[in-house]
Chain A
Amino acid sequence: MKNFNGRVLFLDRSDINTDEIIPAKYLTESTKIALKPNLLEDLVLEGFDPQKDIEGKSVVITRDNFGCGSSREHAPWAFEVNGINMVIATGFARIFRQNMFNCGMMAVELDATAVDELFAEFAGEETAIETDIDKGIFTISAGEISRQISFSISEYDLSLVKAGGWVEFADQNY
């Protein structure tokens, strides 16, 4: 099972698409690791610098419809090879969300108010998250402030995360 703890990267925008996460020109790569330097390089977001802002981050918090666009699994892989295994958002595009769990990664949905509060309270601060997937809780903290947030993922998604992804799960079960 992958690690879902660590420092948070805030991406304050909705509809961040897969071309922004990893541009189509890198789809010719035949290995995942080759995607590492190009994560979010075309992201349109005021003040965001992919060269500086991604380093050392393990969790992304963002807004609605994250990962819309193409079906490329290169998008979750580009996160994975940068050590980011969890994205928390108001909502996800279907394929991206499925790709995350299929890779044994976490796509966690919270309602818009909860996400608004996370941005209001923590964005701009040095923030970290610790996740207990069995309890469905993560603890988010910055300096003195710390909050526990519960989330729900389906039993099935949880079994994919625990099996290490859908290929192993399907080959065993079907």
Chain B
Amino acid sequence: MGKTIAEKIFDAHLVDNPSGDIQVVRLDAVFCHEITTPIAITDLVARGKDRVFDATKIKAVIDHVTPAKDSKTALQGKILRDWARRHNIVDFFDIGRNGVCHAIFPEKGFVRPGYTIIMGDSHTCTHGAFGAFAAGVGTTDLEVGILKGVCAFKKPLSMKVNISGTLARGVYAKDVILALISKIGVNGATNRVMEFSGNVVDAMTMDQRMTLCNMAVEAGATSGICAPDKVTVDYLWPFIEDEYPTKEAALDAFNVFTPDADAAYTDVIEFDVTPLVPQVTFGFKPDQVKPVSDMEGEPIHQVYIGSCTNGRFEDLEIAADIIKGKQIDPGVRAIVSPATPDIYSRALSAGIIKIFMDAGFCVTNPTCGACLGMSNGVLAEGEACAATTNRNFNGRMGKGGMVHLMSPATAAASALTGTISNSPLFQPGGDNQ
């Protein structure tokens, strides 16, 4: 019997099999941020175990609330900063160099096909876009990862999601994943890895694959994963050119982690995206999804473009294309948060930041900010936000607020009208190919 991507990665990292279906695997990287790591550090210190397994394999960033908004968040930053210094963790990104974890770590080349990665953050599944097994864990797993460089998982089961057809113009990876979550439900992939394949995935850029994998956890998945290919190698090339003589050699090495044709999956989902239209959520669960056209005219108070789902360069480019030369509706406030300093800087050079500012957007520093309702755009009770983020739970962006998840194009179009609106790039019934 052949193997899935996750099974191949687990085989290459197996340390122990303490019981039945539990596998303890060696970790290639442990990612840390200032919300979940300080409490792990404090606990390790209290247990007399203030050690790290390998300082070069630990990467840390202050991203969720930065600059600190109050004494408590300042303390969280300080605990992480002091710990990184104490253990000589070189890849630590503090204010000025920091960005949203799942955007900055791939951008720095820290993710490779076949890697095992954990982080105290549920959207760690994003890094599966590179053919890595990357999973969110709780504080205790994080502590053990930091201390011993291992993590225990159930033997991974995978669901194959074959995405075929042709995406219409104005329809994006975000619409695909929202539609998929609505199809299978918020626990449709629980305890499984969603392995994405098909011609649509093959044609996606790394930015788009990260959007796709980012929301796998919203369907309950342990991780999303895409097989490594030429697109992956091209993206990683600046970081690996010293390790491989040619791109073809790198691809050969990474091909070890492509799935076998006869691999066993718990489910195979065939998803033809040709008829897909832009999607938006309407409730407090990410599987409550409708076509944007069914929600058109629904008033919004805030627009938020950013986050680990859709705060990357391509996302800003698409949104800027729509708002260029126009003004946001006077009834809304709009915020854009480039996910990393590099994205910010590229957007600045490309004139994209100016387009946002001219349209009336507030441009913030790279941070999670409003995405988790802790800073930079918290909603008031009764307010609604058109957001490119990944979670619409009750209270997520502020108590009593409603978050509508959508693509950057839909968010940009909604900023112009002050209501949920289809982007002009999408022509219902027209030729969108």
Query: Are A and B associated in one complex?
Result: yes
- Residues in B neighbouring A69, C-beta threshold 8 A: 122, 391, 393
The 3 A-B residue pairs with the shortest CB-CB distance in the complex, in nearest-first order:
A102-B140, A99-B138, A156-B19
The answer to whether the Cβ of B238 comes within 8 Å of any Cβ in the partner chain is no
Considering the complex, which residues of chain B in the window 363-403 have a beta carbon less than 8 Å from any beta carbon of chain A? 372-374, 391, 393-396, 399
The answer to whether the Cβ of A113 comes within 8 Å of any Cβ in the partner chain is no
Q: A156-B19, A166-B140 are in contact. List 9 more A-B contacts (CB 8 A).
A: A15-B187, A15-B285, A44-B284, A71-B136, A72-B139, A93-B190, A99-B139, A102-B140, A170-B147
Q: Bound state CA distance, A33 and B136, in angstroms?
A: 24
Q: Which of the candidate stretches A1-9, A16-24, A50-58, A125-133 sits at the interface with the other chain?
A: A16-24
The answer to whether the Cβ of A137 comes within 8 Å of any Cβ in the partner chain is no
List 9 A-B pairs, Cβ < 8 Å.
A24-B395, A28-B35, A42-B394, A42-B399, A71-B36, A71-B138, A72-B139, A73-B39, A73-B140
Chain A proximity mask over B3-35: 1 for CB below 8 Å, otherwise 0: 000000000000110111110100000000001
Number of interface residues of B (CB under 8 A): 58
Chain A: number of interface residues, binned into ranges? 35 or more
Question: Across the interface, do A71 and B187 meet the contact criterion of CB distance under 8 Å?
Answer: no
Question: Across the interface, do B394 and A173 meet the contact criterion of CB distance under 8 Å?
Answer: no
Q: Bound state CA distance, A102 and B190, in angstroms?
A: 19
- Residues in A neighbouring B138, C-beta threshold 8 A: 71-73, 76, 95-96, 98-99, 102
Q: How far is the CB of A87 from chain B (nearest CB, A)?
A: 14
Which of B47, B120, B152 is in CB contact (< 8 Å) with A71?
B120
The answer to whether the Cβ of A165 comes within 8 Å of any Cβ in the partner chain is yes
Which of B15, B65, B143, B374 is in CB contact (< 8 Å) with A167?
B143
- Residues in B neighbouring A46, C-beta threshold 8 A: none
Q: Which of the candidate stretches B72-80, B167-175, B313-321 sits at the interface with the other chain?
A: B72-80
The answer to whether the Cβ of A147 comes within 8 Å of any Cβ in the partner chain is no
The answer to whether the Cβ of B412 comes within 8 Å of any Cβ in the partner chain is no
Which of B24, B284, B373 is in CB contact (< 8 Å) with A25?
B373
- Residues in B neighbouring A28, C-beta threshold 8 A: 35, 65, 70, 72-73, 76, 374
- Residues in B neighbouring A44, C-beta threshold 8 A: 284, 394
The answer to whether the Cβ of B220 comes within 8 Å of any Cβ in the partner chain is yes
The answer to whether the Cβ of B63 comes within 8 Å of any Cβ in the partner chain is no
Q: Bound state CA distance, A165 and B142, in angstroms?
A: 13
Closest to B284 in A: A44
The answer to whether the Cβ of B113 comes within 8 Å of any Cβ in the partner chain is no
The answer to whether residues A173 and B222 also contact, given A25-B374, A73-B138, A93-B190 and a CB cut-off of 8 A, is no
The answer to whether residues A95 and B147 also contact, given A24-B396, A71-B36 and a CB cut-off of 8 A, is no
Closest to B15 in A: A174
Question: Across the interface, do A167 and B122 meet the contact criterion of CB distance under 8 Å?
Answer: no
Question: Across the interface, do B220 and A170 meet the contact criterion of CB distance under 8 Å?
Answer: no
The answer to whether the Cβ of A27 comes within 8 Å of any Cβ in the partner chain is yes
Question: Across the interface, do A174 and B24 meet the contact criterion of CB distance under 8 Å?
Answer: yes
Q: How far is the CB of B36 from chain A (nearest CB, A)?
A: 7
The answer to whether residues A170 and B42 also contact, given A70-B122, A71-B120 and a CB cut-off of 8 A, is no
